[in-house]
Structure 1
Amino acid sequence: MNISKQIVGYLKSRGLVLASLETCTAGHIATMLAELPGAESCLDVALIAHTRAALARLPGIEPLAIANGPGDAAQNEALARALAEALLVQRAVGREGANVALASVGWLSVGQDGRAAAAHGLAWACRQRDGVSSASETVLFTGRGAEVKRSIARRALLGLPRFVDSLALAR
């Protein structure tokens, strides 16, 4: 089964609605899901930001949390986590709003040979009765630009059920 079908099925089976925010993947994560029939029932909003300045203008984000320049791996991970949490809080509009969010933050550095590298921060957040829970990780991706974007999108999507299921186990 492909990842998109797997994730849409997972979201639907648990009554989850996703909000996502992407930087260098430029909407690849949302596109992977939105292409499937019935995805509208489990995809609330997908945001794409190509600059840190754009991220800083999002509601609920502290401007000081967003440094100028590409940032390092730790900054990208912390920023991804803050963005996932803020996006989830911002989208909490009753039963129709998102109850899970993912954020993918990093910028590709393309070399002379066309190969790219990204120290990418990935984060997932989930609304629960007692607030918002979140998790994050940093992963180094290398390869051709398009390969890196696909790898980031796959890792972000596959991390969502792993994260949500870990919350259920922790109860």
Structure 2
Amino acid sequence: MTVAHSLIEYMREHDLRLTTAESCTAGLIVTLLAEVPGSGSLIESGYVVYSPEAKQRLLGVKPRTIDTFNLTSREVAEEMALGALRDANANVAVATTGLLGPDDKDGIPAGTVCFAWAFEVDGQRALFSRRERFFGDRSQVQRLSSEYALQQIPGYHQRALTGDRR
């Protein structure tokens, strides 16, 4: 069973509806889920936002956050996830921003991806983020990071349900 198949089952069992805010994964997270038959009712929307301007305009990422922390940062991913969740009829959002490579940029190693997961639980928001590094060519890093983003949803959802927001 694929990561997406497992997640769709989990989402059904827990009444989750997903939106994404993807930069470096370029919509692959939504694509992986959409390949699962019957997943359409669990996917609300998917933003693909590469430029800083699109992140700001569509998701409300603050220019100061980008200037202070860089586009490849947990802080930008967090604002992307919250912006997607705020604008969607969904109760879970996942965001990605990173550097696929092949070259390092601004001191950030190629393959670095920042993630954020935001949940709406009983009128409260829970937000989690991580920075990871993946190895391979551009398409491999995209695939690995998209699958990673999906794999983490159940664990973070459980933490959101129990109030563990560490």
TM-score by length of 2: 0.87
1:108 maps onto 2:100 in alignment: yes
1:90 maps onto 2:87 in alignment: yes
Cα distance in 2 for residues equivalent to 1:67 and 1:149? 25
Moved more, 137-146 or 52-61: 52-61
Label 1:79 to 1:154 Cα distance change in 2 as closer, same or farther (>3 A): same
Partner of 2:131: 138
1:17 maps onto 2:22 in alignment: no
The residue identity in structure 2 corresponding to 1:165 is Q
Cα distance in 1 for residues equivalent to 2:22 and 2:44? 14
Give the C-alpha shift of residue 88 in structure 1: 0.8
Unmatched runs of 5 consecutive residues or more in structure 2: 104-108
Partner of 1:3: 3
* Contact kept in structure 2, 1:106 and 1:120, CA below 8 Å: yes
The residue identity in structure 1 corresponding to 2:44 is D
Give the C-alpha shift of residue 4 in structure 1: 0.9
Q: Secondary structure of the residue that 2:58 maps to in structure 1?
A: coil
The residue identity in structure 2 corresponding to 1:64 is R
RMSD over aligned Cα, in angstroms? 2.0
Residue identity (%): 28
In the alignment of these two chains, the number of paired residues is 159
Cα distance in 2 for residues equivalent to 1:144 and 1:82? 27
Choose which of 99, 104, 112 in structure 1 pairs with 2:91.
99
Q: Secondary structure of the residue that 2:15 maps to in structure 1?
A: coil
TM-score by length of 1: 0.85
1:71 maps onto 2:70 in alignment: yes
* Contact kept in structure 2, 1:23 and 1:104, CA below 8 Å: yes
Partner of 2:115: 122
